[in-house]
């Protein structure tokens, strides 16, 4: 029987240390991450069936609350929920009541009153999903679909699943994360996950202007040169250049960025011959990565997209399971 210890449980775990919400990689254990990957592995096969659905979340309702636009992430969350047989509400925040002056908490209370079981939250403000998870009733789980510059844990986990599929283990792996680290919530979650899962070396390769302060405290090796940073890596993760987040002259030009930090076949040749190339999408072709590499034999970018559905199915079903365990325990006490 798991130990009951409310005080030590962080917000996203229930009293049995099971996933209850999924907000960040931080504070989770290696076992939590491995359980997510193992469960996601079992969901991959569902996508190849004639009927791509399992009845696990039948009768549950998932609301996608996207305060920031993202077609790809929202679509994969929607597909994941539907493949679990949940009902899905896509709330378009820009035209919803919050833009008519209704407060966020009033909107959430209304959704709770409609018996929604799970909120999938994308927000430009770091910490928004945490704030929501703190305020929801015990009958709601919150999944972070990307908040500000803080975290994008499901993207990190689908990347980990893709790496594990191709490299089979994390020990001994050298992984390079290249590009706009400063604005990237994905990079932050990836670094935490890779370190937790036991990667040998996590490198970040970026110009100084696109590195957050104190980056060396994140457990990474910092390189400003692709030539040095790419040498002998097993995995290359290219980041999207967040054009919409560029304030001031952080970059001389896109052409200059591609020349120095874009992934061309020449630069990829510095990595191990069997290195895999990843990108969270959407790709700015000719800016972060050239088409011959993005569509080349070492690219696993489309595998990442497929794995995104399986990882989100895993996280949703595990968080719902954690919610059920908590509610059942509460009922037994009462």
**Residues recognised as catalytic:** 72-73, 100, 122, 152
- Is 217 annotated in a binding site? The answer is no
212 is in an annotated binding site: no
Q: Which stretch binds another protein (CB under 8 A): 38-46, 216-224, 272-280, 282-290?
A: 38-46
Q: Looking at 6, 7, 45, 244, which residue binds another protein (CB under 8 A)?
A: 45
168 binding another protein? (CB under 8 A): no
Q: Which of 17, 39, 73, 141 lies at the binding interface for another protein (CB under 8 A)?
A: 39
Q: Say if CB 141 and CB 118 are below 8 A apart.
A: yes
- 284 scored as a contact of another protein (CB under 8 A): no
* Alpha-carbon torsion angle 193, 198, 201, 207, nearest 10: 10
53 sits near another protein (criterion: CB under 8 A): yes
Rounded CA gap, 129 and 40, in Å? 22
**73 annotated as ligand-binding:** yes
Any idea which residue has 């890779």 for tokens? Answer: 194
Number of residues that bind another protein (CB under 8 A): 24
Contact with another protein (CB under 8 A) among 1, 50, 137, 332: 50
Name which of 204, 197, 219, 215 is nearest 28 in CA terms.
197
Helix axes 185-197, 30-44, angle to 10 degrees: 100
Crossing angle of the two packed helices 301-333 and 71-83, in degrees rounded to 10: 50
The reply to whether 281 sits in an annotated binding site is yes
The response to whether 298 counts as a known ligand-binding position is no
Pick from 1, 51, 333, 334: which binds another protein (CB under 8 A)?
51
Stretch that binds another protein, among 22-30, 52-60, 211-219, 220-228 (CB under 8 A): 52-60
Q: Which of 3, 6, 8, 55 binds another protein (CB under 8 A)?
A: 55
Near another protein by CB under 8 A, which window of 54-62, 72-80, 198-206, 208-216? 54-62
Residue with tokens 């940073």: 229
Query: Rounded to the nearest 10 degrees, how much is the dihedral formed by the CA atoms of 33, 35, 37, 42?
Result: -170
- Residue of 26, 47, 54, 201 that binds another protein (CB under 8 A): 54
Which window, 161-169, 269-277, 284-292, 319-327, contacts another protein (CB under 8 A)?
319-327
> What is the distance, to the nearest Å, from the Cα of residue 57 to the centroid of all Cα atoms in its chain?
21
Strands (E), the chain: 61-66, 87-92, 118-123, 141-147, 174-178, 201-205, 221-223, 235-238, 276-278
Write down the least CB distance from residue 192 to another protein, Å: 23
At 311, list the tokens: 């990882």
**Binding region for another protein (CB under 8 A):** 35, 39, 41-42, 44-46, 49-51, 53-57, 59, 317-318, 320-322, 324-325, 328
């Amino acid at each position: 029987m798991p130990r009951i210890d409310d005080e030590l449980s962080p917000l996203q775990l229930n009293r049995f240390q099971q996933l209850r919400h999924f907000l960040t990689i931080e504070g989770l254990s290696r076992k939590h991450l491995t359980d997510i990957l193992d469960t996601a592995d079992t969901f991959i096969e569902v996508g190849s069936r004639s009927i791509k659905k399992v009845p696990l979340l039948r009768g549950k309702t998932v609301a996608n609350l996207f305060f920031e636009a993202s077609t790809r992430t929202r679509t994969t969350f929607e597909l994941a929920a539907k493949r679990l047989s949940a009902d899905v509400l896509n709330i378009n925040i820009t035209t919803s009541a919050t833009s008519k002056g209704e407060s966020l908490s009033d909107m959430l209370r209304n959704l709770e009153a409609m018996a929604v079981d799970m909120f999938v939250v994308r927000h430009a403000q770091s910490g928004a999903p945490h704030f929501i998870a703190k305020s929801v009733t015990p009958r709601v789980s919150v999944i972070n679909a990307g908040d500000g510059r803080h975290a994008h844990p499901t993207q990190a986990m689908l990347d980990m699943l893709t790496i594990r599929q191709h490299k089979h283990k994390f020990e001994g792996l050298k992984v390079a994360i290249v590009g706009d680290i400063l604005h990237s919530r994905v990079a932050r979650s990836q670094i935490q996950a890779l370190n937790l899962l036991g990667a040998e070396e996590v490198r970040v390769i970026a110009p100084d202007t696109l590195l957050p302060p104190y980056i060396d405290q994140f457990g990474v090796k910092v390189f400003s040169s692709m030539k040095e940073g790419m040498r002998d890596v097993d995995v290359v993760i290219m980041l999207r250049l967040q054009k919409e987040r560029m304030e001031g002259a952080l970059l001389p030009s896109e052409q200059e960025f591609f020349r120095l930090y874009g992934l061309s076949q020449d630069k990829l040749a510095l990595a191990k011959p069997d290195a895999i190339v990843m990108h969270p999408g959407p790709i700015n072709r000719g800016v972060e990565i050239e088409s011959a590499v993005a569509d080349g034999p070492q690219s696993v970018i489309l595998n990442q997209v497929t794995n995104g559905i399986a990882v989100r199915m895993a996280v949703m079903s595990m968080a719902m399971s954690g919610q059920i365990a908590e509610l059942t325990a509460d009922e037994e006490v009462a």
